[in-house]
Every structure is written in C-alpha cells, then in structure tokens.
Amino acid sequence: MNERELGPVKGPLLRARLHFRCGERRLREGKIAAGIVTLYDALEGAMRSYIEDPDHRVHLALQQGEDLVKERVLYAALVRSRVLDGAFDFDEFDRLTERALNEEMPGYEYHKLLVDFDNVMVQLGVIPFDETSLPPEDPKTF
C-alpha cells in the first residue's frame, strides 16, 4: 500500500483500518506489546485522516499555532471540537505504548483497552467497516 498515493484522507484511514484489525489480532495471539503499538498507529492514522478531510476540518475548533503533528495535541483538538467525547485516556494509552515499545507485556489484561479503543474508532468513523474492503491479512506477518 502506498499511503501517499491514496491521499491525505484515504491513506491514513486505510492504515487505521489495517492496523486496527492487525492490532486486535496480535493482542488475541498474545503479542501484547506489538498489538498495543499497532493500535497506537491505528489511532494516529484515524485522527490524521479525520482532520485532513475538508468536510471535517471546517468544523474543528483548532487554535492558532497548534502543532497537529503531535498526537497528544491532535487528540486534544478533537476532544475540544467534540468529535471525541474525551472518555478515552489518551495520556494513559500513550504511556502504555511507551512501555510496550520497551518491554514485552505477556500478563497485560487488554480487554478494557479494546472496548475503550473501539469507542474512539467509532467516533472517528473508522469502524464499522466492510472487512472485504481490506486486503486479506497475511498470516505470516508478525
């Protein structure tokens, strides 16, 4: 997949959906750290796709000089704009992702995270989606 070729809305949205699916699979397979990191990337793609959509962008409460490249700033802008309800603890998820980048987490109980994460992905319009719209998963991928 060439994300740039797909454009600033469709590219990150496809990445969000692919990584959402893959992140959930990795968690189910016990690859907890990899699953969490993959979900983080899915969230980044979802937020990026949302703000790049001209139909959405005109309704966002963006502040002058905001650095929307930073995920934390982007998340806060989407909450302030009432796209997201703010129930998802982004800061906690960011810390969890940092931990996942540095260690395996075989005993981590991820089910509540998935429920909360799914809610954010619904609010951003990533899910639900037609599974057949995505390329099939390669079972050989990590």
pLDDT in tens, 70-99: 999 999 999 999 999 999 999 999 999 999
Higher pLDDT, 27 or 135: 27
Per domain, the residue ranges of the chain are 3-131
The pLDDT value recorded for residue 135 is 66
Tell me the residue length of the chain: 142
**Percent of the chain whose pLDDT exceeds 90:** 77
**Percent of the chain whose pLDDT exceeds 70:** 92
Asked whether 42 and 15 are in contact (CB, 8 A), the reply is: yes
Q: Which two tokens stand for residue 20?
A: 């959402």
Asked whether 38 and 19 are in contact (CB, 8 A), the reply is: yes
Distances (CA, A) of 83 to 9, 97, 105: 16, 23, 31
Cα–Cα distance, 27 to 38 (Å, whole number): 10
How would residue 132 be classed by pLDDT, with cut points 50, 70 and 90? confident
The pLDDT value recorded for residue 1 is 63
Among 66-70, 92-96, 125-129, 135-139, name the one with the lowest average pLDDT: 135-139
Higher pLDDT, 135 or 89: 89
The pLDDT value recorded for residue 142 is 61
As a whole number, the mean pLDDT across the chain is 91
C-alpha torsion angle, residues 95, 96, 100, 104 (rounded to 10) = 130
pLDDT in tens, 9-41: 899 999 999 999 999 999 999 999 999 999 999
